[in-house]
Structure 1
Amino acid sequence: MQALTWADVRWPLLCTGVVRLLVMTQSKRLPVRLPAGAVAIAVGSALYFALAAVGILDGGKGLVGSVPLSMPAPMYVPDFLRLLTDSNTLDLLWTLLPAVGSLALLNTMQTLIGAVTADPLAQTRSSADRERVGQGVANFASSLFGGVPLSGLGGITVANHRSGVRTHWSRVTSGLFALAVLLVLGPLIAWLSTIVLVGIPPAAFSARWRSSTTRRAPHRSSLSSHPLATP
């Protein structure tokens, strides 16, 4: 594998992503209250196509592209059944073990963090075993259709609870809503730049982290009344 150098960096794309990240983190300064992600996508996309219009970027590259709107078929079932009888399966599993194990560990941690986040809100106690088994079965079934492994997210759980959600049906309705958005806005999503989208999760995580640390920080008046406080 060839090592990357500074010459391999596509500076226009990097600048586009940095601008989008700055817009998302500083969106609270706007006089009008708008979703930070939507504002960042709009500004980043405008900058991307402006650079493409003057010839600095190739507007046809780096886009999401057409979104398939047909129902996927379990195309990988024959390949899975073939692995069960292949003599080289163990060697293949051993080769993939570091990558697969890391991904499984990361997804498991994210799911358990989401469950721990939801328990105080819903005043319940989640079953870690049930969460792990459910995630494993769902990701295995998704892979047969060509899907990618996913995990539960604490931020989405908190957003659902703040919106009034109190039952497990929120997972179904959230999925159906995402499917409806994909079907309706599919032609527009195809024109989004991947560099504009890639920075949204880190920025959203940073915003949630700052919000959580602010809520946990003791108020100044409480600190001043502490017996060990100094002027």
Structure 2
Amino acid sequence: MTVKRGDNAVHNGPGPRRVAMPGADPPANPDDAASQTSHRPTSRRRVVQISCFSLMFTSANWRAAPFGTRAEWFGNVRGDLLSGLVVALALIPEAIAFSIIAGVDPQVGLYASFSIAVLISIFGGRPGMISAATAATAVLMVTLVRDHGLQYLFAATILAGIIQVAAGFLRLGDLMRFVSRSVMTGFVNALAILIFLAQLPELIGVPSMTYVLLAGALAIIYLLPRVTTAVPSPLVAIVAITAVALAFGIDVRTVGDMGQLPSSLPTFFLPDVPLSFETLRIIAPYSIGIAMVGLLESLMTAQVVDDLTDTGSDKNRECVGQGIANFVTGFFGGMAGCAMIGQSGINIRSGGRGRLSCFFAGVMLLFLIVGLSDWVAVIPMPALVAVMIMVSIGTFDWGSIRSLVTHPRRSSVVMLAVVIIVVWTHNLALGVFAGVLLSGLFFASKIAQIFAVTSRREGDTRTYTVEGQVFFASAGKFVDSFDTREPVAHVVIDVTRAHIWDLTGVGALDKVALRFRKAGVETEVVGLNEASRTIVDKLSIRNRADALELSSGH
């Protein structure tokens, strides 16, 4: 059988997607940069160092500004400082609550939130995003703490950081492009619902004045921006409600009721665990889970902040930044954490945009719990609950409800599946993985339908023209489109308008060609583009002498 190469070779392989970071030039292609550098007159050792550096730090921006650009730090000083203060106040009760979830002392979550926020502001890839101790990672530590103790939690946090750094160096952040818009919408809506549900314990079985203070705080948050935006309305609400509660002696739950605040600075120490393979066997499963869930939530949150601010971010740098933050935190008595969509929403809606907002939030958090713990302890919980309710309402994509009717049914199914799974299981990773799987299946099914085989006969020659994608989902339809029993002398299979993607597609082409050969019909394939020809030449068996015998197992 003769195979001819068509003139319409398709060259796949566009350059990497370039994302502009706020206040910086767009990153250059790392491969191009490394190539250009390697041609400069310098020593071989210098070339190797530059090449390794290019592989490790995954964007030109990072190589040019390893700790962020000046614009990322000081382009919005006033807004970042004010929003950072709001975030610091809102972090305190959440960090305490997440510590309780993990079964550890509140200072573990508070120290972690301080450390992670400061470090991610320096090394992270998404300015303006807040990272700290979270419920998503806390729930993964419960069994470890219960069965092996607190020191093993610190060791697991350190190992999780190493895994995340490795993920960044391997450029796993690029996998975010496989997450569809429907999955993102479901993720955001599910988190908004979870944030709201997390506030219900503070609203059930509480004094009636709780609802009065809550209503007052919500009124300030939503009405003050109509008068002035000079000061973030959530900060004004917290200060005003605290002042009212103290002035009138209103008896409601306060931050102090959540747990004891630490009175000293965190100190460096090595986890008190044996340095053995047994320890590694114990902590490795927890560390892998923490690393995966932490990166997933961080990358998804980074995408949300990208959309809110209409700017880009470096997902691979974010992976490394999260890893560095967790690695260091484990040595300072903190638990693992990741990005927080709720706190990030507070930061963005309070005017925060740069790295300074997250850095200041971490520093102020430590200052508040150590230096002003007596004042922080009297902040009424209704004020902080109001802030979180604002975040949940603002985070939820209300337009997605209307889209259930107007958007394609499959997109709506994916979005609803993610919401239901996440809310039902409180497992973000499970919901997102299910959404990505559904999106992939629906996409494959849809692409398989955009496929057609037409034919025409001229004398003793039948020409089949194939249009569409030939892969595992369309292979059966491809094979069934050929009449291998027709009495013709010559068959031409024209794949000029088709693309063969995988082993199943190659197998389908082989099956058709071998059926014609078995019937004594000369078969010719024309129009293979470059990519299709490469995979066909590598995997096809139809030109082998024993092809008919092998075809039954192809």
Common fold by TM > 0.5: yes
8 Å Cα contact 2:305-2:344 kept in structure 1: yes
Superposition pairs of residues 186-205 of structure 1, within 5 angstroms = 186-188=373-375, 204=388
The letter for the 2-side match of 1:217 is I
Shift of 1:155: 2.2
Q: Which runs of structure 2 are paired with 1:4-83 in the superposition (5 Å)?
A: 18-19=204-205, 27-28=214-215, 32-33=219-220, 46=251, 64-68=259-263, 70-76=264-270, 79=272
Following the alignment from structure 1 to structure 2, what is the Cα–Cα distance between the partners of residues 95 and 46? 46
- Correspondence for 1:11: none
Q: Return closer, same or farther for 1:189/1:208 CA change in 2, 3 Å cut-off.
A: same
Q: For residue 204 of structure 2, what is the amino acid of its counterpart?
A: V
Residue 205 of structure 2 aligns to a residue in which SS? Answer: helix
| C-alpha separation in 2, matches of 1:120 and 1:32 | 27
Match 2:336 to one of 136, 149, 158: 149
User: Take 2:350 and 2:252, find their aligned partners in 1: how far apart are those partners?
Assistant: 33
Tell me the equivalent position of 1:6: none
Q: Deviations over 1:108-139 (max 9, x none)?
A: 22211220111112322222221111111111
Distance in 2 between the 1:30 and 1:163 partners?
15
Write out per-residue CA displacement over residues 26-77 of structure 1, whole angstroms, 9 at most, x where no aligned residue. Answer: 9458895466x967xx7xx94679xxxxxxxxxxxx8612522x33221227
CA distance, structure 1, for counterparts of residue 316 and residue 219 of structure 2: 45
Say which of 113, 122, 128 aligns to 2:309: 122
C-alpha contact (below 8 Å) 1:117/1:158 kept by paired residues: no
Deviation at 1:94, TM superposition (A): 1.7
One-letter identity of the residue aligned with 2:281: W
> How far is 1:161 from its partner?
2.0
Shift of 1:146: 0.8
- Stretches of structure 1 that go unaligned for 5 or more consecutive residues are 2-14, 50-61, 224-231
Alignment of 1:105-184 (within 5 A): 105-184=292-371
CA distance in 2, matches of 1:205, 1:97: 37
Q: TM-score, normalised by structure 1?
A: 0.57
Alpha-carbon distance in 2 for matches of 1:176, 1:30: 25
Report if the CA contact (8 A) 2:342-2:391 is conserved. Answer: no
Larger of the two Rg values belongs to structure: 2
SS of match in other structure, 1:151:
strand
Please give the residue correspondences for 1:79-94 in structure 2 after superposition, counting only pairs within 5 Å: 79=272, 86=275, 89-94=276-281
Deviations 1:193-223 (A, max 9, x none): xxx79x96xx94896168513244339xx98
The alpha-carbon distance between structure 1 residues 209 and 99, as it changes in their structure 2 partners (threshold 3 A), is: farther
Equivalenced residues, count: 182
Structure 1 residue matching 2:335: 3-state secondary structure: coil
Q: Comparing both structures, which one devotes a greater share of its residues to strand?
A: 2
**Is 1:217 matched up with 2:395?**
no
**Structure-2 change in CA distance of 1:31 and 1:184 (3 Å):** same
Q: What percentage of aligned pairs have identical amino acids?
A: 21
Separation of aligned partners in 2, 1:90 and 1:31: 53
Task: Return closer, same or farther for 1:144/1:75 CA change in 2, 3 Å cut-off.
Answer: same
Contact 2:301 2:339 in 1 (8 A): yes
**Secondary structure at 1:137's aligned position in 2?**
helix
- Change beyond 3 A, Cα 1:191–1:162: closer
Aligned-pair CA distance for 1:160: 1.9
Change (3 A) 1:191 1:31: closer
The 3-state SS of whatever aligns with 1:95 is: helix
Report the RMSD for the aligned CA atoms in angstroms: 4.6
Contact 2:218 2:390 in 1 (8 A): no
Q: For residues 124 and 31 of structure 1, do their structure 2 counterparts lie closer, same or farther at Cα, with a shift above 3 Å needed?
A: closer
Residues 31 and 102 (structure 1 numbering): CA distance in 2 closer, same or farther, change over 3 Å?
A: closer
Distance in 1 (CA, whole Å) between partners of 2:302 and 2:343 is 11
For residues 304 and 203 of structure 2, the distance between their equivalents in structure 1, rounded to whole angstroms, comes to: 30
Query: Structure 1's 31 and 119: CA in aligned 2 closer, same or farther, altered over 3 A?
Result: closer
> Do the aligned residues in 2 keep the contact of 1:143 with 1:149 (CA within 8 Å)?
yes
Q: Which has the higher contact order (CA 8 A, sep 6+)?
A: 1
Q: Which amino acid aligns with 1:112?
A: L
Structure 2 counterpart of 1:65, which letter?
Q
Q: Is the 8 A contact 1:114 1:153 kept in 2?
A: yes
Q: Distance in 2 between matches of 1:120 and 1:72?
A: 35
